[in-house]
Each structure stands twice: as structure tokens, then as C-alpha cells.
Amino acid sequence: MAPPQQAQPKTTKKDHIRLNNPFPRSLPSASLRHRDAAPPLSFSPASKLAHDAHDFPVGPHFRLRWDPSLGGMVSLARVASLSGDAPSRGGAMWETVPGVAFVSAASVDTEADECRGSFALRDGRARLVPHSQRVDRIRALYRCDVEAGAGKGASADLLRGAAFEASERTRFPVVVITGVVSARKASPSPSCFCGRRRAGRRDGGGRPVLSARYWIVLEEKSDTQVAFSVKLGDYQWSCDHHANPSRPPPASPSPSSPSPTPRTHLASSSLRLRLAARSRKKKKLPSGVSAREDLAPLLPPERKPEEEFNRVFVTFASARDERFYGFGEQFSRMEFKGKRVPVLVQEQGIGRGDQPITFAANLVSYRSGGNWSTTYAPSPFYITSKMRSLYLEGYDYSIFDLTKPDRVQIQVYGSSVQGRILHGDSPTELITSYTESTGRPPVLPRWITSGAVVGMQGGTDAVRRVWKQLQDYDVPVSAFWLQDWVGQRKTSIGSQLWWNWEVDDDHYTGWKDLIRDLRRRGVRTMTYCNPCLVPMDQKANTKRHLFEEAKKLGILVRDAAGEPYMMPNTAFDVAMLDFTNPAAHAWFKEILAGMARYGAAGWMADFGEGLPLDARLHSGEDPVAAHNRYPELWARVNREFADEWRSGMHRRAREADDDEGLVFFVRAGFRESSRWAMLFWEGDQMVSWQANDGIKSSVVGLLSGGLSGFPLNHSDAGGYCTVDLPLLRYRRSEELLLRWMELSAFTVVFRTHEGNKPVSNCQFYSNSRTLVHFARCAKIYKAWEFYRIQLVEEAAAKGLPVARHLFLHYPEDQRVQKMTYQQFLVGTEMLVVPVLDKGRSMVTAYFPMSDGSSWKHIWTGDEFGGHRNRGGAGEGMLHGFEAEVGARVGFPAVFVRVGSPIGERFVNNLRDLKVL
């Protein structure tokens, strides 16, 4: 039986408040202390598990080891197979903390704040806190056990309880661990009968305890992955005076007994307890206390929230010096030891801790400033410096607690857990394994990476004027991206778009002629869309009212009253398409088909992070889990259409050289977004030098996403968010734009953006200096096109990113482990040290030496690292060499590996393009 749907959190809407607390809690608070969520581990002294360590095979390549010493622990490791595999790197892939529960559960109220795409889920009142975990049995099950599973016996009961279903592809044996977890009332109950002395006087009361049997299944999925699942069932009440962890709670089913569903078992328990209450009626009780009150904590006459667990904790060991990377696209940190990392899709925020902008953003819109952990594209995945890696499956909200130096604790807002433990001897092996199951992007059409993508607004005449300038300066251009193709609307915050996905013929007069003229010169046209719609009664030249169409078809997300859920977004309200409804998929593909027939070769597929936590969906699924899944659904609609268009399923006048296909890029994502998304961009950074939400954060997002299975990513060159108020100004300076263009020249796509207030920002077309620099950066980008093609193919084949944190290839270098935005690799053959601070013309470059490589500066030919430069600034360093390098505007600090054919070709191309 499927577990019941989780109760929806108590959600507080704060869209209407004019002034807010500018200092909201930066992270979701926890009502459970760490030690509450990791209670002691126990096992029966009479069982076989109490005496000796035991090994249990998990498939042909892995082994689970149980060690009863120091209170008991389990560990998982890979072993060499009979086929002669090379021995794996030493150490366990996964292990628990000795004597500490590795599975625990609780019942906690959930609270949520929601405001314009910003969310906070947190624990409210704790009803039941973790009490104990007991291990009863560990058993390896073989195919013969499954084939006999329809019969009776211990194996059949284990299989039924774990809800394990084998297939022809199952790699036996699988291992099942079973036992009991319990949680007790958060505060003593004076009415608990077991909390009284025999004389009949109260002694302060005991605590009712809810226990449940758990089943953990470990199954080899591939040569590098072990799937794990945690399932709870057989709920029953007792009292903590009777809940001895070394033995089952009263009336607990034995491991070999059938496993009734939780509701049936609770009902039978209730009946037995009521009978017991009747049998005690003649017993003299303290004055004023009835038998019913005496057993009230044990009697569940009707369903209550605390009668099932809605939190599951998985706790395991970590080394004190272990560093953690991943968790999706993060913008403030590369390494997370010591932090609590929430995994919830949402707006990244404006400022994210940089001041004073975060203060101001929070003041005018609750939580819109964000914090170090808010991101469009998180993922419940990590990789560590000890080559350990794990990810969660499913979409429940989760928090990875890394605040204790010796352990990791994952809190899942749900009643079950599924995930996978990965094996690899290097970060590249782990990412390859991870993306093999979560998905990788396709090979991009080459046109998108052949030159600059020019972000423009303003209508036909503005585009033609800028296109003429770019021709005059000989800029390699692959496409014009025109986000205002739908027309502009004036609102209280400036010019915004009409969210009705059709061309505005008044704003872009001669649209088809413009597209045709650009296409004849090898330049594509890209547009914009998102999964939201607005009423169009105020726009005179509207041809189709998409909001009304979708409303009539019933394919919009609904509110509690069954009406379209109208969500505040900046200065107007929007409705969101319900992509859990197949009809919404089909309808929106036709919208995309119309966009492509009008000449769009690609588009920004914006948003995807704002599904309300109290929405009503066509599928009936939990909206909190659907909130994390929605970005994948959104990307899937776009990808399916792009694939169908390329395959010729949509009739169109096809040009002879149009076989490469369409391209779209997204900002919101989750674990499996790369299976559907063709390309990412990092969303809306501030036009600033700041660390949490400026140019530096764009590098962190690029590299953290690359370590998390998002290999093709880029940012808006120059940033996006502009604030131009009398007392608060963030306007793009010329220097910031020039440096951001240098940075973008070394990402997979080089795309500009005018920002949300174009007239307040310096633009690439502002003057001759900016145009010359833009042309120079576009040619630098063009010079390594041949290598970019290889790296895009590698991303599609192995999931490895184009722009790479040095940890991917130098994981044991402690200096590398501490790096954030300072420098990065392009593939393995190029090293980039960008200028990310105002007024700087020198950078500090670090050259790893563990592989004996030397690096050559592309502008001067100077060589660094290897056996050269000894005795300089890097003498005595364990793994590398450090040097100060000049990086004046137009000459970013870029190095190629000495002796690399890739590097030599890059330098030669720079000469041919007259850049060097």
C-alpha cells in the first residue's frame, strides 16, 4: 500500500505586506536538536548480531559489514569482483556512527512562508521526537528467496515488509535490514498510566511512544551504484517506561510475522487497548482520572497527525577533515562542512546577504533578499574529498545537516527515503556515475556555440541598428536573443513583458523580414517564454488570449477553491500551467510550435521555481514535492518539443541548413533536470562586484553546478538586477561589463543581457571602447570553438562540465579544496583566473603540480609550474605553485597546458583572429 499523502504545511502568504522584517531567519529553523534526531542504537543481546562481525554481499560488487563493537555500526564498501577488477580506493563508501541510530523518525508540524517565489519550510511544534533504533535482522536475499516469496517464512515476510519487487535485471543478492524505530511525545504526559507509581500516586508522568518497524533495502544498481530505501510500517503505541530498546515494545510483531498496513495495525492496537481499559474498570484509580484518560495517550480512537511519522532521519559518519561539494547550483559556497543545506527550489534572491541591497529587498518584499543557501537549482547530492558520494531520489524537501564534525544527518520531510550511494576513485568517476542515472544533456547544435548571443530589446529598428554596428566591428555573432518579442508593458517597476507567447507586430514590425535578413547572414533569432500566463484584456493588439484558453481547458494550477491560482509576480498577478496534466503538455507544445514557425531558433525557458506550496494539482500529488519536481516537468515539455521539431513531426518550411535543431535554456532545476534541459543559465545576478549575488557568485554557480550534474551553464554577461534609486544604486559600470565579458568568453555560451533597467546600465554598444572589447571577447570565445565542441560532446557522454572546479582533477590538493571563485579549468587544457574585483589589474594564480604539468600564459608565453619557478612564491607548498600575474583589461589571465595540442591550436587561432 502506498503511504498516505503528507499533510500540507501551514502556509503563510506575505505578498501583500508593504514593509517587512529586513532580517528574516536565514535558514529554516529546527525544532529538534541534533542529539534528539540521532538516538542510541541497540540490538538484542541474544541475536547473532551481538557476538561477531558479519559480511553480507550486496550484488556481485559490494559488501555490507555489520560490526557489533562500540554499540554497533554498518559500513558499505566495494570489493574486487571475480572478473579481476582493480582494487578500489581504500575506505568505506558509506558507514554509520558507532552506537548511534542510523535511522530515526519523528512527527513534527510543518510551517511555510511564501512570497513571490521565495519560500521557507521549517519545523514547527515537535509532536514526537526520536527515541531509539533497534536492529533485529540483517539478511542477504537471493533470487531463490524471491521466487519462494509467495510462500511463508522469514524471507517472504522480509520481502513483503520491504515492498521489494525483483525483476530480471535485479542484481542479487539484495540485503534487507529490519528493526524498530520509536519516537516519544515531546513532553511528559501526566495521564500516562505507565508513568505512575504502584501506590497509585503520580511520579511526573511517562511519555507515550510510537514505534514502527523499518525495512532498509540495499540493492546494487550498477558496478558503481547501490540503491537504498527506508520504509516504515506496523505502527504501534506504548509507553517509554516499557519501551526498552533491547526488546520489542508491547505486542510488537515478530520479524517473521506478517506485515499489516499501518492503519490496520493501529486499528487492531486500538481495539486491544480498549479491551484492556474495560478490564481495568474495577481498579481503583487516582481521584478525578478515568480509565479512558489513563490510557488516552495509548488509544488512537481517531486518526491524528502524530500517529504516523512525517520525518525520517538518516545519520552516518563523516571524517572531521572531510569536505563536501555539490548540492546543485549554489552561489555563495563551494564547500559545505559545518552548514545545514536545505534543498528547495526557489528564487535565488536579490543580494543574498550582500548589503545594503539584501536589507532593502527584504524590507519591501518578504524574504526576497534570499540568503547564502537560496537557489533556483538545488540537488540532494554531494561528493566529498574522501571520494564519498550520495544522492536522494524522490522530491520531498530535505535538509543535509553537516554541522557536526563526525557525522552527516539527512532530514527528509516525508515518511520514507530512497537514494543511491556511489562508488568512484575520483570526482570525475563519481560524476560520471551520478549522471548516468540522473541524466545528461544532449549535444548542443553547433550554431549556439559558434559566436556571441546578443541580448537585445527595443524593437526592429534597435536590432537593425546594433546589428550594423556589430558588422562594422567584425563581431562573431551566432544569434540575437530578443526577450521582448511579445511586447513591453509599463508597470510600477518599469518596462516588463506581456506574458502571452506571440509576437507583438507593433513592437517588432516586419518580424519575419528581420528574422530572414539575419538568417541569411548566418545569425539565428531567439525568443523568451515561461510557464505562466496573464489576462490580456489590457493589450489592444492581442491575437490569442492564452490565459483564457488555458483557463477554459482547465490546465492551470488551481487554488483551494478550484479556481486558477493567481500568484503575485512583481507588479502583476500570473497563473501557472499545471504540467502534471498531460493536456497542458500538448497545449503548450503547440504554443512552442507557433513560436518556431515564426522563426525562433531557440528561447529562454524562464521561471519554473514558483509553484505554490498549497496548490491543487491535476495529479493530486503533494504540492511540496511537486514544487521541487516542477522545474523538471517544465524542462521536459520544452525538450520534447525540440526533439519533435528536429525529427520533423511538425510541418514547416525547412531550410537546407536547419538540421542542427532548436535550443532552449532554463534557470530552475532539480536533480534530473539535465535529462531534459539542453542548457542552463544562472538566473538574475546583481550588476555588482559582490560575492553573494554579483560577478563572483556567477563563478561559484558555474562551478558548483558543474560538480552537481549541470555541465552546460552560463551567466548573463554583465549581470541582470539593476537598482537605480536615489539612495540605493546598483548600476552596471563599464569596468564590470568588460570584466564580465572576459569571464563569459570562457563558458559554453557567451550571451549578453541589457539587464532589467537597460538605460541605467553600460551596454556593449554604449561606445567604441565597449564595442571593441565585445568584439575582442567574442573572438577569444571563437578561438576555442573547436575545443568547446569536444567538451560539449564529453558533457553529453559523461556528464563532465565545460567549466570545471580544479577539485575535479586535483582532489587531494588542499589549496584547491578551499577554492571558490578564484579560478577554474576549461576542460583539462585551459586555466582561467578572472579579474573579479574593481580596479584590479593583477591576479594571484595557483598552478597545481601534482601531475607535473606546466602552464603557459597565452599573452606572454611565460611558463609556470612543473619543475620551473622553484624557489619562488610557491616553494614549500605541498601540491602547487603560486604567482602574481598581470591581467589588464582585454588580457585576462588565461593559461594553456604546456605541450597540449589543444593549447597550441587555441593560441594559433588567436593569432589568426588578430587577437594575439
Q: Which residues are catalytic?
A: 606, 609, 684
Distance CA 163, CA 160 (A): 5
Give the whole-angstrom CA distance, residue 413 versus residue 347.
21
The answer to whether residues 8 and 323 touch, using CB atoms and an 8 Å cutoff, is no
User: Could you say which DSSP state residue 278 is in?
Assistant: H
DSSP 586-608: HHHHHHHHHHHHTT-SEEEE---
Each as own residue / partner, the long-range contacts of residues 149-158 (CB below 8 Å, 24 or more positions apart, any chain) are 153/256, 154/255, 154/256, 157/255, 157/256, 157/257, 157/258, 157/259, 158/215, 158/255
The DSSP secondary-structure symbol of 458 reads S
C-alpha R_g of the chain: 30
Burial class (CB in 10 A: 0-12, 13-18, 19+), 863: middle
481 exposure class (CB count in 10 Å sphere: 0-12, 13-18, 19+):
buried
Query: How big, in percent rounded to 5, are the helix, strand and coil portions of the chain?
Result: 25, 30, 45
Instruction: Provide the residue count of the chain.
Output: 916
DSSP 5: P
Q: Are 642 and 349 in contact (CB under 8 A)?
A: no
Amino acid symbol at 832: V
Identity of the residue numbered 69: S
Helices (H), 439-510: 460-472
| Residue 401 per-residue DSSP state | E
Distance CA 478, CA 481 (A): 10
**Exposure b/e, 658-693, CB count within 10 A at least 16 = b:** beebbbbbbbbbbbbbbbbbbbbbbbbbbbbbbbbb
Please state the φ and ψ torsions of residue 502, each to the nearest 5 degrees: -150, 155
